A and B are shown apart, each in its own frame.
Chain A
Amino acid sequence: MANLTQSTASRLARRIGDRGPVREFLMFSLTGELYGVELTRIKEILSPPPITVVPRAPREVIGVCSVRGLLVTVLDLRRRLSLEERPLTRRARILLGAAESGEVIGLLVDEVRHVVRLAAGEIEAAASALGGDVAEFVMGIGRPSGEFLILLDLQAIVSG
C-alpha cells in the first residue's frame, strides 16, 4: 500500500515541480553495486585500523577496533546484506554510526564514492530491489544522474 502511495506521490511531485526536502546521502560501493546512507547518520568515515577478531561472535561481526580510545564493534555490511564477498582493497573504509542503544558500530564497505543529494520526491520505493530478508534495511531507490543507488537505513542496520 505504501509503495503505491509513494510512487504516486513522487510522480505528482515531479509534475508539480516541488520535490520536497533535499537530503544528502553518502554513496559507497559493495560488491560492485552502489549503495547510499543518509549522511547525517554517519558520525565518521575512516580507514580501517587493525581489527581484532572476536571468537564466537555472530557471523556478520568482523571484530572490534579502537577509534581514539573508543571500542567499536565492526560489522561486515556485505555479510549483513548477504552479498558476495570480494577481497578488500586499500580503498575499503569503515563508516561509524550510532545504534539506538548508543553503541557505536562500524560498517565495513568496499569503497566510498561521493555525496549525492536527493529530494524526498526522488526516492522511489524498492519493493523487490534486494532479497526479502534484507528488506528491512532498505529505505528506497535513488537515481542521481542516472546511477542506480540502493538507499539503506543505517539505523536499522546497526540496531538489528
Chain B
Amino acid sequence: MAELSDKAREEFFSEAQEIIETLSRNLLSLDASIKSGASDPSLINEAFRAVHTLKGLSGLFGAVRLGALSHRLEDVLDDLRLGRIEFGQDVLDVLFAAVEAYTRILQAEKANSDDELDVEGLFTELERIGAGAAEHQSPVAEYELDPGLLAVLTEYEEHRLRANIDLQMQLYRLRVQFDLSTIDKALEEIKERAKRHGEIITYLPTGEATSADTIELDLLMASRDDLATLVGSLGADNVVIEEIPRRARRSVGAGTMPPRHQTSIGRADSVALQRELDKGGLETTSSLRSLTQTVRVDIRKLDHLMNIVGELAIVRSAFGRMAEKLRGEGQRKLAAELLRMHRNFDRRLGEMQDGILEVRMVPLGQVFDRLARVVRQISREVGKEIRLVITGAETEIDKLIVEELSDPLMHMIRNAIDHGIELGQRRVEVGKPLAGTIALNAFQKGNHVMIEVEDDGRGIDLAGLTEKAISLGKLTRNEASELSRDEVLALIFLPGLSTRELVDDVSGRGVGMDVVKTNIGKLGGVIDVHSETGIGTKMTITLPITLAIVSALMIQAGKHTLAIPLSSVSEAIAFDEAAVRMVDGREVITLRGQTLPLCRLDRLLNLEAAPDSMSRRRFVVVAALGQRRLGLVVDFLYGQEDIVIKPLGKSLADVRGFAGATELGDQRVGLVLDAASLIEEVLAGVEAPRTLERRHG
C-alpha cells in the first residue's frame, strides 16, 4: 500500500499544481473579460470544476488544508456558476487571493511542513461573498424537452439551460452520427462551429446506432439564430437539426406536440461539411486555455533518455571507425555499406535528440501567467495603474530553467513597479500616459533565450545609486567619479544596493538584484541593464536554451581534453606570444582594436603540461557572455562536437569553473568549462569598483 500511495502522491502534487495554474489562467481571462464587458460562463464553470477536482483529490490524499480551502472555494464558485451570486471585481479579488493561498498551502503540503498558514481572513471573505447568494428559478417546462433528456442533465447543465431560457434563446436538438474512430476530431469541428452560434449544453448518446462503428449523439444547444441559419452552418448528411418548440399557451393536456421543422440539408452544404470532416484538419484556436493532448512527464525520465542518446552517439562513432578500418583492410564494399548505415544512424539519432529536447521545453507563458497575477496584486497595493504587455509567451525553454525563473523575474518586476514607474499624477505631469507600462518580452536568439523586462518609468537614479554605494563603503568618491555610465548602472548588482527594507509578502524575504544575478548565473545566464533617465529601464536576461545536449568546442589544455559550449564562444584565433602586453598587472592582447584580457587555462587550473606543448602553436578561444570577453589560451583545437553535459556530484560542488563533464569515448571523461564562471573569476577585478581599473572600448 505504501508504494501505491507514493506514486499516486507524486502525481497528485503534479496534478494539483496544474489545476492551480489552470485556475489562475481562468481568473486572468475572467479579469480581462470583465473589463471588456463580455462574460464567458464556461470560464466560471471551468474554475469550479478545477476546484471541485482538487477538493476530491485533497480528500483522497489527506491534504487537509488544501481540502478545506477547496471546499469553501467550491461553494462560492458553485454559487457563481449557478447564477446565485453576482460576479464582479471584488469577488475576483478574493478568488485571486485564494489562488495565492493555494500556492502557499501546496508548498507546505509538499514539504510536509506543519507551519500555520493564516487563511482565516480569506475564509471570512469567502463566507461574506457566499452569504449573498439567492435562489433563482425559471420555468423549463415552457419548452417541450424530452423528459429523457431532462433526466440526464446534471445540476450545472440544468442551470445553463435555465440561464439560456431566461435570455430568450431558442433551443435546438442536433442529432449527429459519429464514426467512433474519428469522433474526437469531428466533435471539435462541431464544437467550433456551434460556438459561433450559441452554447452547447450537453451531449447525450441516444443508444441508437446505424452500425457497430458509429454512435449517435443528441446535442442540446441554445442559440439566438434561427433554424435556417443553423442548418446552413452545421447541417450535413450525418446531422439532423430540430428546433425544440415552446409550448403553446393553450396547450391541450399532456403529451408532446410533434416538432415543427425537421430538416436535413441540401447536398451542397453536406458535401462541404463532410469534406471538412474528412480533412480533419481544422485547427483549434491556440489560446493559453486551449486543451492540447498532453502527457505529464517526470523530468528524470527525460534525463535518462538523454543519457541513452549520449551513449548511442558513442556507438555511432564506433561505426565510423569500424568503417575506416574495413576500408583500410581493403574491404571497400563492406566499408561503404557500413558508412551508409552510419550516416543513417547519425541522422536518426539527431532527430531523436531533437525530439527529446523538444519534450523538455515548456513555454515561458507558464511563468508569465504567474507574473501577471503578481503585477495585478502589486499595482493594487501601491496604487499605481500598470499595463502589462507580454510578447513571446510561446518561446520555449528547458523546464528546469523555467522553474527557477519566476523568483528573479518577480523581483525585477517588483522593482520596476516600486521604483521605476512613477505615481499616476507625476506621470501625467511629465506627459506620460496615466498607466505605467511594463513589457515582458521573450525571444530566441541562436542558442539562447532572451527575456527583457522593460518599464517606461523614471529610469535608474544614477546619482542616488552612486551615493548609496559610497555610503555603504563599496567605493570611494574618487573611484565613483571615474566610473563610466554602464559601470554605475552595474552597481545595482552589488549586495545591499537594491535590497528592500521590508520583507515583502510576495517573496517572503528581502530582495536584491545581487540575488537575482546570482540565481540567473546558476542557470548559466547573465543579466544586463540599460536605463535612461526619465524614459525607462530595461533589463535583459540571456539564458541557454537547454542544459542537456550542447554544441561544444573541444580543446586541449595541458594533458586535459576540455569542452567549451559553443554558445559562449565568439571566435578562436591563433596565439602570438609576442603580442601579449601587460595592462595593470593583467595579460591582454589587442583584437580588432579592442583590448582582450587573457587567461592561460593551464595556469589558472594548474593543469599538468603535455610533454611537447612548448613547441606547438597555440590558440586563443574568445569566450563571451553578455558584453564581457575573455581570451582563453589553449594548446590545441579539436573542433566542434555535440556533447551531453553531466553535472558534477555534490562533493565537487565547490569547484569553480566547470559546468560538468562529458564522455569522450573509450570511457574517458572530459571536463566542460563554465565560461560564465571563468569570466567572473578572472575579470572580477575589473568589475568591482573597489579594485577599479580603467576600462577600454
Contact = CB atoms under 8 A, between A and B. Distances in A.
* Chains A and B share a contact (CB less than 8 Å): yes
Contact of B650 (A49, A64, A65, A103): A103
B371 to A, nearest CB: 33
Contact of A56 (B311, B606, B650): B606
B656 A52 contact: no
Given A52-B668, A52-B671, A56-B656, A73 B607 contact: no
**Contact residues on A (Cβ < 8 Å of other chain), bracket:** 20 to 34
B603 to A, nearest CB: 11
B661 A52 contact: yes
A70 to B, nearest CB: 8
Contact of B649 (A56, A69, A103): A103
Interface in A40-80: 49-58, 61, 64-66, 69, 71-73, 75
A11 to B, nearest CB: 40
Contacts of A103: 649-651
Contacts of A61: 651-652
Nearest to A158: B651
A123 interface: no
Interface in A58-111: 58, 61, 64-66, 69, 71-73, 75, 99, 101, 103-105
A84 to B, nearest CB: 23
Given A55-B607, A56-B605, A56-B657, A73 B669 contact: no
B646 A71 contact: yes
B38 interface: no
Contact of A54 (B608, B658, B666, B667): B658
A159 to B, nearest CB: 9
A106 to B, nearest CB: 10
**Contact residues on B (Cβ < 8 Å of other chain), bracket:** 20 to 34
A103 B646 CA distance: 13
Contacts of A72: 649
Given A50-B669, A52-B668, A69-B307, A57 B649 contact: no
B649 A52 contact: no
B667 A66 contact: yes
A55 B606 contact: yes
Contacts of B655: 54-57
Contacts of A69: 307, 310-311, 663
Nearest to A65: B669
Contacts of A57: 652, 655
Given A56-B655, A66-B669, A105 B649 contact: yes
Contacts of A66: 663, 667-669
Contact of B648 (A49, A54, A101): A54
B83 interface: no
A54 B663 contact: no
Interface in B549-565: 560
A55 B658 CA distance: 9
B670 interface: yes
Nearest to A68: B311
Given A54-B655, A99-B651, A103-B650, A71 B661 contact: yes
A72 B647 CA distance: 10
B638 to A, nearest CB: 16
Contacts of A101: 650
Contacts of B649: 64, 71-73, 103-105
A72 B661 CA distance: 10
B671 A54 contact: yes
A157 B307 CA distance: 28
A23 to B, nearest CB: 26
A133 B686 CA distance: 42
Interface of A: 49-58, 61, 64-66, 69, 71-73, 75, 99, 101, 103-105
26 contacts: A50-B666, A50-B668, A52-B661, A52-B669, A53-B560, A53-B608, A54-B648, A54-B655, A54-B671, A56-B606, A56-B655, A57-B655, A58-B651, A64-B648, A64-B661, A66-B668, A69-B311, A71-B646, A71-B649, A71-B660, A72-B649, A73-B651, A75-B651, A99-B650, A99-B651, A104-B649
Please name the 4 residue pairs, one residue from A and one from B, whose CB atoms are nearest each other, closest first.
A55-B605, A103-B649, A52-B669, A71-B646
